[in-house]
C-alpha cells in the first residue's frame, strides 16, 4: 500500500458496501479493506497474477444509470481483475459458493488424500479452503492420477507430483523473484508437472522459499521431512544470524529442539523471503558437537570443569594484561556481548588487543574512509535500493554474500528498471539482470575502480583535486581497459550510468583483494564526486555491531579513535573505566605475536581461526605458540583441540540480545530455544569474569547492558529495548 | 406416647425391616454386588476405554503412520509421536511414514478416546485392561514397544490380570 501514495481512486461496491480503492487494485486485495477474504491458491501478492487456479471466482457487475446492477454472465477471477469505477463485486452469493465448491472438487479429483502423512497437513491452504468453502464429500470414485512420490528435486526440496494443483507459484517464484528460472511446467492439462528442465537438480540459492509458498504439500523440505506436524511445533519470532542481512524469521522448535525456520514478513529487510543458506543453516543448534560444559586442560587432557574453576584459571592467565593478552571474535555474537568483551579487556586487562576482522586487508583507524574522506561506508538501506536509478555492485557475488540484498536489487530492476552494473572477476547470479557486466581479471579491482573514476572525470561529470587527477593518469579508461580486460567503452558506459541517485555496493570480500585500500578510496571518491551513495557492507551476522562497539584495536565504542586522547578518555569515563592508551594489534599482527610468544593468553570468542583466517599455517603456529588459549564457542571446532579452557556459549536464539545487520539495523532476538546444557550467554560470561576480577554491580540482563551502550555510544539510543520495534531500527 | 411410637420406634422397625428384606433377597438379585477382586474380575461393558494398544494389519505391518493426529486431538497433551521414513529395507508400516517413537503418559491420560477417534488408520485402540497401577512415575510412560501388539489381533485376546491370574474377556 505504501508504494501508491497519490494514485487515483475509484469507487466500487463489495457486497453492496461502497468503498474507495486505488484505481487498478486487484479485487482480491480490495476486499481485504473490508475485512473479507477471497480464497486463493495461485495468487501471491509479491508476484504477478495469473488466474490459474480459479479459486478466487467472484460475481462482478456494473452499476447501470438507473441504479441497478447488471452482472456479467460468468464469474470472474478476483486475482486478475483490477478495480474500476462503478464495479460491483459479490463474494458471498449462492453462485460464488457453488463455484468454489466446484473448483475445489475439481482440484481434489487428483489430489491424494494422504494428509495424515503430508508435511503440509495442518498448515495447508488446500485443507483450509476445502474445510471452509469445499464440498464435504467426494463424488470421485475413479482411480486417481499416480506419479512418483518424494522425488528429490534438490538436497533441500522434495517434490511430490501427485499433490501438485498446478498453481505455478514455484515456477513464477524462480522466474520473477529469484530469477534463476530453474523450474518450469512440463506437459499440459491434468499431466502438467512443475519440474526443473531435464530433471536436473534444482540448485537455486533461494529454493527454500518455494516450500513455503506452495499451497499444498507438493514441495516439501527434505530436512524437515516427517520431523514434526505443525501442531507439535512451537513458533516464535527470531532473526537469522547466518549472514549480515539479518532476515526476520520464525523459529519452529519442538521439545526444546530447533526444527525448522520460515520467513517472517519484514518489509524493510527480507519482505518475506529467506535464502537457503539461512533457512537450512541453523543445524548447529542440534549439533552433536555442541559444547555443553566448561573444560579445563589438566595434565595434557581436557577435563570437564565447573565455571568457577574455569574463571579462576582464566583470570590468573590474563592477569599480566596489557600487550600480553588478546581476544579475537567471530560474527555470531550479540551487541551486548561485544560491548562487555571490550569493557572487560580495556577495563580489567588494560589491553586494546581486540579484533573482529578476518579479511586480508585491515584498515588502520586513520585509513578508514570515515576518517580519511568523511565518507560513511554504510549509506543505503536495503529498502532504498528499490528506488535507485543505478547500482554498481563491484567485487561481490551478491547472491552468495548478501542474498536478500540480491533479491531486493533484482526486484528494483524487475519492477522499477534500476540499471545494475555488475563488476566481478567471476560469473555471478546478478549477471542475468545486469545492464552491464564488467568482467575484470582477478586482482585488477583497483585498476577498474580507478578507470571508472577517471572515466567520470574525463566526461566532465566529476571533479577531483589535482593530485588525484595526476594519480588517475595511471588509470585512464584505456589503460584500465588493458589492465583489467574490460572493454573501454563499457568502463565509460558504467561511469555514465552512475549519478546522484545511484549506489555503489561492495562487501568486506573486497578487503581480501590486493590493493584493497586504493580500490576502496577510488570507489568512495567516485561516489563522492557523483553524489552517489557508497556502501561497504559487512558479511557476518554482527560484524557491523562489532565495529560499532569497539572490537577493534584502535577504535572504541561509537567509533571514537583511540588516537583522539580527549574523546577516548571521555568514552572511558562514561564506561566507568580507564582506557589503555597503547593501541592494540590487528588480527594478523596479533596472531604473529601469539606465534612468537609475545602474547601469553588469547581468548577466542565464537570464532574458529582455521575457518576464518586465510593463513592456516600462521593460525596453527599461533594457537600452538600461545601459552593460554580460551576457546569460547557454541560447537566444537578445530581450535578447541588447542584450548587450555573451553567455555560453552549459547547460540543467538538461546539468549536475549540485539544484532546489527549490514545496513546498521539493530534487531532484537529474544530467547527462543531453552538453554543448552551448562552453556551461558557470551555477555554473562564476560560479566561474571569482570565481577570476579573487580567487585562491582554485575549486569543481570542484556537489557541493562544496552542501557549502558546507549550512554556510551549515543547512536544506540534508538536500540534500547523499549524503543526497538519488531522490524528493528537503523542506527 | 403415641408420638414416641410414631417418631422413634416405627422408623427403627421400618429400618430393620429393609435390612431383613435385603437379607432375604441377597441370594437372588444382589448376588454379584461384591466381586472378589483380584480373585474375580467383573466383565467390562462393551465400550469401556482403558489401556491403549497400537494395532497391526493382518500382514503384520503397523497401522500407525506416525501422523501425530492423536497428539493433536489429545486434550491432556499426553501423546508424543516422532515419525520417520520407511525404506524398502526397513518397512514398518504401509506408505512412506511410520512412528519411530510413540509415547503416552498414562498419568496425564484421561481415557477420553479422542486419539482413537482421530486416528485415520484405526491404529490406536483403547482396550479393556484397566490394571494400570504401578509403583514408579517413570513406568507410566508407555513406549511404543509397550503399546504395540506383538502380532495382529493380540490386543483383542483376553488379558491376564496382574494380580489374580484370572483371564477376562478383552
What's the pLDDT band for B31 if we cut at 50, 70, 90?
A: low
**Between A114, A149, A232, which is nearest B68 by CB?**
A232
Q: Which three cell numbers stand for residue B162?
A: 496382574
What's the pLDDT band for A131 if we cut at 50, 70, 90?
A: very high
What's the pLDDT band for A45 if we cut at 50, 70, 90?
A: very high
What average pLDDT score do residues A597-613 get?
94
Give the model confidence (pLDDT) of A271-326 as tens digits.
999 999 999 999 999 999 999 999 999 988 999 999 999 999 999 999 988 899 99
- Which of chain B's residues have a Cβ under 8 Å away from the Cβ of A158? none
User: CB neighbours (10 Å) of residue A285?
Assistant: 21
- The residue assigned the cell 589503555 is A580
Q: Do A150 and B67 touch (CB under 8 A)?
A: no
Residue B128: partners with Cβ closer than 8 Å, 6 or more residues away: B44, B48, B50, B51, B159, B168, B169, B170
**Between B67, B80, B85, which is nearest A116 by CB?**
B67
DSSP string across A596-642: HTS--EEEEES--HHHH-S-HHHHHHHHHH-SEEEEEESB--GGGGG
Give the model confidence (pLDDT) of A217-272 as tens digits.
999 999 999 999 999 999 999 999 999 999 999 999 998 899 999 999 999 999 99
Taking 70 as the threshold, does the pLDDT of residue A563 lie above it? yes
Q: Is A312 helix (H, G, I), strand (E, B) or coil?
A: helix
User: CB neighbours (10 Å) of residue A609?
Assistant: 26
What are phi and psi for residue A227, nearest 5 degrees? -75, -35
Residue A55: partners with Cβ closer than 8 Å, 6 or more residues away: A39, A40, A41, A42, A100, A103, A104, A107, A129
Q: What is the predicted pLDDT for the residue at A527?
A: 93
- How far is the alpha carbon of A209 from chain B, nearest alpha carbon, in Å? 23
- The residue assigned the cell 543453516 is A281
Pick the CATH number of A230-286 from 3.40.30.10, 1.10.3720.10, 2.20.25.90, 3.90.1150.10: 2.20.25.90
Q: What is the predicted pLDDT for the residue at B24?
A: 76
Mean pLDDT check: name the lowest of A21-25, A344-348, A581-585, B23-27: B23-27
Give the model confidence (pLDDT) of A497-516 as tens digits.
998 899 999 999 999 998 89
Taking 60 as the threshold, does the pLDDT of residue A701 lie above it? yes
What's the pLDDT band for A42 if we cut at 50, 70, 90?
A: very high
Pick the CATH number of A108-136+143-221 from 3.30.70.20, 1.10.240.10, 1.20.1250.20, 3.20.20.10: 3.30.70.20
DSSP string across chain B: -HHHIIIIIHHHHHHHHHHHHHHHHTTTTTTTSS--TTTS-PPPPTT---SEEE-B-TTS-BS-----HHHHH-TT--EEEEEEE--SSS--SSSSEEEEEEEEETTT-----HHHHH-TTS-EEE-S------SSGGGGEE-HHHHB-SSTTGGGS-EE-TTT--EE--
What are phi and psi for residue B56, nearest 5 degrees? -120, 155
* The model's pTM: 0.91
The CA angle A550-A555-A558, to the nearest 5 degrees, is 60
Asked whether A579 and A712 are in contact (CB, 8 A), the reply is: no
Residue of B63, B66, B67 to mutate, testing the A interface (most A Cβ within 10 Å of its Cβ): B67
Q: Is B83 on the interface with A (CB under 8 A)?
A: yes
What average pLDDT score do residues B9-28 get?
84
Asked whether A651 and A676 are in contact (CB, 8 A), the reply is: yes
- Which of chain B's residues have a Cβ under 8 Å away from the Cβ of A116? 65, 67, 69, 120-121
- How far is the alpha carbon of B96 from chain A, nearest alpha carbon, in Å? 8
d(CA B53, CA B155): 7
Selection from A576, A549, A291, A532 nearest residue A418 by Cα: A532
- The residue assigned the cell 555474537 is A333
Q: Is B108 on the interface with A (CB under 8 A)?
A: no
Q: Do B67 and A225 touch (CB under 8 A)?
A: no
Asked whether A395 and A401 are in contact (CB, 8 A), the reply is: no
Closest-approach residue (CA) in chain A for B120: A116
Q: What is the predicted pLDDT for the residue at A568?
A: 92
Q: Which three cell numbers stand for residue A696?
A: 562491582
Q: Determine the distance from the C-alpha atom of residue A330 to the mean position of all C-alpha atoms in its chain, rounded to a whole number.
A: 17
User: CB neighbours (10 Å) of residue B95?
Assistant: 16
Closest-approach residue (CA) in chain A for B83: A226
**Between A149, A229, A255, which is nearest B68 by CB?**
A229
Q: Do B83 and A114 touch (CB under 8 A)?
A: no
What average pLDDT score do residues A674-681 get?
93
Q: Do B83 and A226 touch (CB under 8 A)?
A: yes
Sheet of A151-152: strand order equals: A151-152, A157-159, A219-221
Closest-approach residue (CA) in chain A for B68: A229
Q: Is A229 on the interface with B (CB under 8 A)?
A: yes
Q: Do B71 and A225 touch (CB under 8 A)?
A: no
Asked whether A391 and A505 are in contact (CB, 8 A), the reply is: yes
Give the model confidence (pLDDT) of B147-165 as tens digits.
999 999 988 888 777 776 6
Taking 50 as the threshold, does the pLDDT of residue A74 lie above it? yes
- Which of chain B's residues have a Cβ under 8 Å away from the Cβ of A114? 95
What average pLDDT score do residues A533-550 get?
94
| Parallel, antiparallel or unpaired: strands A295-298 and A301-304 | antiparallel
Q: Is B73 on the interface with A (CB under 8 A)?
A: no
Q: Do A117 and B67 touch (CB under 8 A)?
A: yes
Taking 90 as the threshold, does the pLDDT of residue B1 lie above it? no
d(CA A131, CA A121): 13
What average pLDDT score do residues A438-457 get?
93
- Which of chain B's residues have a Cβ under 8 Å away from the Cβ of A255? 80
Q: What is the predicted pLDDT for the residue at B30?
A: 58
Asked whether A304 and A268 are in contact (CB, 8 A), the reply is: no
Q: Do A121 and B121 touch (CB under 8 A)?
A: no
User: CB neighbours (10 Å) of residue A208?
Assistant: 26
- Of A600 and A299, more confident: A600
Q: Is B121 on the interface with A (CB under 8 A)?
A: yes
What average pLDDT score do residues A455-471 get?
88
Taking 50 as the threshold, does the pLDDT of residue A167 lie above it? yes
Q: What is the predicted pLDDT for the residue at A365?
A: 86
Q: What is the overall mean pLDDT for chain A?
A: 93
Q: What is the predicted pLDDT for the residue at B27?
A: 63
d(CA A701, CA A329): 21
d(CA B39, CA A309): 62
**Between B85, B95, B121, which is nearest A225 by CB?**
B85
Put simply, the chain A residues between 253 and 282 with a CB less than 8 A from any chain B CB are 255
Asked whether A447 and A441 are in contact (CB, 8 A), the reply is: no
d(CA A530, CA A388): 14
Length of chain B: 170
Ordered by start, the domain boundaries in chain A are 24-106, 108-136+143-221, 230-286, 295-356+551-652+678-722, 365-537
Q: Do B96 and A122 touch (CB under 8 A)?
A: no
What average pLDDT score do residues A530-552 get?
93
Closest-approach residue (CA) in chain A for B77: A232
Asked whether A196 and A170 are in contact (CB, 8 A), the reply is: no
Q: What is the predicted pLDDT for the residue at A5?
A: 53
What average pLDDT score do residues B107-132 get?
94
Q: What is the predicted pLDDT for the residue at B166?
A: 58
Selection from A729, A385, A695, A673 nearest residue A537 by Cα: A385
Q: What is the CATH number of domain B43-168?
A: 3.30.70.3270
**Between A150, A225, A231, which is nearest B72 by CB?**
A231
Q: Which three cell numbers stand for residue A473?
A: 593518469
Q: Do A232 and B97 touch (CB under 8 A)?
A: no
Q: Do B83 and A227 touch (CB under 8 A)?
A: yes
What's the pLDDT band for A81 if we cut at 50, 70, 90?
A: very high
Q: Which three cell numbers stand for residue B47?
A: 465400550
- Which of chain A's residues have a Cβ under 8 Å away from the Cβ of B115? none
Q: Do B72 and A150 touch (CB under 8 A)?
A: no
**Between A117, A122, A227, which is nearest B65 by CB?**
A117
Closest-approach residue (CA) in chain A for B80: A232
Q: What is the CATH number of domain A24-106?
A: 3.10.20.740
Taking 50 as the threshold, does the pLDDT of residue B170 lie above it? no
Taking 70 as the threshold, does the pLDDT of residue B26 lie above it? no
Q: Percent of chain B scored above 70 by pLDDT?
A: 91
Selection from A723, A361, A643 nearest residue A508 by Cα: A361
d(CA A511, CA A359): 6
- Do the domains A230-286 and A24-106 match in fold? no
CATH class of A365-537: alpha beta
CA separation, residue A138 to residues A68, A104, A408 (Å): 39, 10, 44
- How far is the alpha carbon of A117 from chain B, nearest alpha carbon, in Å? 5
CATH class of A295-356+551-652+678-722: alpha beta
Residue A324: partners with Cβ closer than 8 Å, 6 or more residues away: A351, A598, A599, A600, A601
Amino acid at each position: 500500500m505504501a508504494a501508491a501514495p497519490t494514485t487515483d481512486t475509484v469507487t466500487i461496491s463489495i457486497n453492496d458496501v461502497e468503498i474507495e480503492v486505488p484505481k487498478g487494485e486487484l479485487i482480491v486485495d480490495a476486499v481485504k479493506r473490508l475485512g473479507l477474504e477471497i480464497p486463493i491458491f495461485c495468487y501471491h501478492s509479491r508476484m504477478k497474477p495469473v488466474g490459474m487456479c480459479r479459486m478466487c471466482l467472484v460475481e462482478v457487475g456494473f452499476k447501470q444509470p438507473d441504479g441497478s446492477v447488471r452482472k456479467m454472465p460468468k464469474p470472474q477471477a478476483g486475482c486478475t481483475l483490477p478495480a474500476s469505477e462503478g464495479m460491483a463485486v459479490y463474494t458471498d452469493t449462492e453462485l460464488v459458493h457453488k463455484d468454489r465448491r466446484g473448483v475445489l472438487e475439481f482440484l481434489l479429483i487428483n489430489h491424494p488424500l494422504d494428509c495424515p502423512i503430508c508435511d503440509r497437513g495442518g498448515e495447508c491452504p488446500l485443507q483450509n479452503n476445502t474445510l471452509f468453502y469445499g464440498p464435504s464429500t467426494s463424488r470421485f470414485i475413479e482411480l486417481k492420477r499416480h506419479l512418483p512420490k518424494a522425488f528429490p528435486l534438490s538436497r533441500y526440496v522434495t517434490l511430490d507430483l501427485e499433490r501438485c494443483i498446478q498453481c505455478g507459484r514455484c515456477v513464477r517464484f524462480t522466474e520473477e523473484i529469484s530469477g534463476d528460472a530453474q523450474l518450469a511446467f512440463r506437459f499440459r492439462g491434468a499431466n502438467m508437472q512443475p519440474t526443473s528442465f531435464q530433471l536436473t537438480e534444482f540448485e537455486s540459492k533461494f529454493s527454500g522459499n518455494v516450500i513455503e509458498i506452495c499451497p499444498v504439500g507438493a514441495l516439501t523440505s527434505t530436512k524437515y521431512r516427517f520431523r514434526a506436524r505443525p501442531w507439535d511445533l512451537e513458533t516464535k519470532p527470531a532473526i537469522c544470524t547466518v549472514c549480515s542481512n539479518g532476515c526476520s524469521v520464525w523459529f519452529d522448535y519442538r521439545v526444546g529442539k530447533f526444527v525448522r525456520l520460515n520467513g517472517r514478513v519484514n518489509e524493510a529487510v527480507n519482505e518475506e523471503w529467506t535464502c537457503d543458506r539461512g533457512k537450512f543453516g541453523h543445524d548447529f543448534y542440534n549439533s552433536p558437537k555442541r559444547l555443553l560444559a566448561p573444560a579445563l586442560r589438566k595434565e595434557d587432557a581436557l577435563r570437564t570443569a565447573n565455571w568457577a574453576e574455569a574463571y579462576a584459571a582464566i583470570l590468573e592467565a590474563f592477569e599480566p594484561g596489557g600487550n600480553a593478552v588478546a581476544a579475537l571474535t567471530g560474527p555470531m555474537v550479540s551487541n551486548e556481548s561485544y560491548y562487555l568483551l571490550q569493557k572487560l579487556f580495556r577495563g580489567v586487562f588494560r589491553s586494546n588487543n581486540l579484533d573482529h576482522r578476518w579479511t586480508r586487508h585491515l584498515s588502520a583507524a586513520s585509513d578508514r574512509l570515515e576518517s580519511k574522506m568523511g565518507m560513511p561506508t554504510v549509506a543505503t538501506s536495503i529498502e532504498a535500493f528499490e528506488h535507485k536509478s543505478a547500482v554498481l555492485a563491484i567485487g561481490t557475488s551478491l547472491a552468495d554474500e548478501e542474498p536478500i540484498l540480491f533479491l531486493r536489487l533484482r526486484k528494483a530492476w524487475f519492477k522499477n528498471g534500476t540499471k545494475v552494473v555488475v563488476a566481478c572477476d567471476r560469473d555471478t547470479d546478478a549477471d542475468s539482470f545486469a545492464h552491464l557486466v564488467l568482467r575484470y581479471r582477478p586482482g585488477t579491482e583497483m585498476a577498474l575502480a580507478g578507470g571508472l573514476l577517471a572515466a567520470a572525470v574525463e566526461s566532465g561529470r566529476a571533479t577531483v583535486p589535482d593530485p588525484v587527477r595526476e594519480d588517475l593518469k595511471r588509470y585512464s579508461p584505456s589503460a584500465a581497459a588493458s589492465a583489467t580486460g574490460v572493454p573501454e567503452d563499457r568502463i565509460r558506459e558504467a561511469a555514465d550510468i552512475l549519478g546522484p541517485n545511484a549506489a555503489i555496493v561492495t562487501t568486506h570480500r573486497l578487503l581480501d583483494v590486493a590493493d584493497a585500500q586504493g580500490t576502496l578510496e577510488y570507489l568512495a571518491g567516485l561516489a563522492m564526486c557523483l553524489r552517489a551513495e557508497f556502501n561497504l557492507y559487512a558479511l557476518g551476522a554482527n560484524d557491523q555491531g562489532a565495529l560499532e562497539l569497539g572490537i577493534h584495536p584502535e577504535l572504541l565504542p561509537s567509533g571514537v579513535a583511540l588516537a583522539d586522547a580527549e574523546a577516548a578518555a571521555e568514552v572511558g569515563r562514561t564506561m566507568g573505566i580507564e582506557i589503555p592508551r597503547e593501541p592494540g594489534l590487528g588480527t594478523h599482527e596479533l596472531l604473529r605475536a601469539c606465534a612468537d610468544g609475545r602474547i601469553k593468553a588469547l581468548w577466542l570468542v565464537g570464532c574458529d581461526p582455521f575457518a576464518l583466517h586465510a593463513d592456516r599455517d600462521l593460525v596453527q603456529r599461533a594457537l600452538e605458540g600461545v601459552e593460554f588459549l580460551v576457546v569460547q564457542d557454541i560447537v566444537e571446532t578445530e581450535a578447541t583441540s588447542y584450548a587450555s579452557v573451553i567455555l560453552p556459549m549459547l547460540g543467538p536464539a538461546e539468549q536475549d540480545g540485539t544484532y546489527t545487520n549490514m545496513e546498521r539495523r539493530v534487531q532484537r532476538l529474544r530467547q527462543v530455544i531453552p538453554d543448552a546444557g551448562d552453556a551461558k550467554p557470551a555477555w554473562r560470561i564476560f560479566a561474571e569474569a569482570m565481577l570476579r576480577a573487580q567487585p562491582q554491580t554485575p549486569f543481570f540482563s542484556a537489557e541493562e547492558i544496552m542501557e549502558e551502550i546507549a550512554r556510551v555510544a549515543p547512536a544506540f539510543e534508538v536500540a534500547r529495548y523499549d524503543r526497538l520495534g519488531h522490524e528493528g531500527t537503523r542506527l | 406416647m403415641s408420638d414416641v411410637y410414631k417418631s422413634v420406634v416405627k422408623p427403627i422397625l421400618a429400618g430393620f425391616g429393609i435390612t431383613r428384606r435385603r437379607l432375604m433377597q441377597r441370594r437372588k438379585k444382589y448376588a454379584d454386588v461384591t466381586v472378589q477382586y483380584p480373585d474375580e474380575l467383573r466383565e467390562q461393558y462393551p465400550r469401556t476405554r482403558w489401556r491403549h494398544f497400537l494395532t497391526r494389519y493382518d500382514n503384520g505391518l503397523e497401522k500407525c503412520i506416525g501422523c501425530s493426529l492423536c497428539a493433536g486431538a489429545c486434550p491432556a497433551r499426553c501423546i508424543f509421536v516422532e515419525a520417520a521414513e520407511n525404506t524398502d529395507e526397513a518397512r514398518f508400516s504401509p506408505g512412506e511414514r511410520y512412528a519411530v517413537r510413540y509415547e503416552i503418559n498414562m498419568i496425564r491420560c484421561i481415557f477420553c478416546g479422542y486419539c482413537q477417534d482421530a486416528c485415520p488408520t484405526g491404529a490406536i485402540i483403547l482396550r479393556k485392561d484397566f490394571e494400570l497401577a504401578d509403583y514408579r512415575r517413570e513406568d507410566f510412560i508407555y513406549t511404543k514397544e509397550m503399546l504395540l501388539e506383538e502380532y495382529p489381533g493380540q490386543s483383542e485376546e483376553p488379558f491376564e490380570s496382574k494380580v489374580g491370574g484370572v483371564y477376562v474377556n478383552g
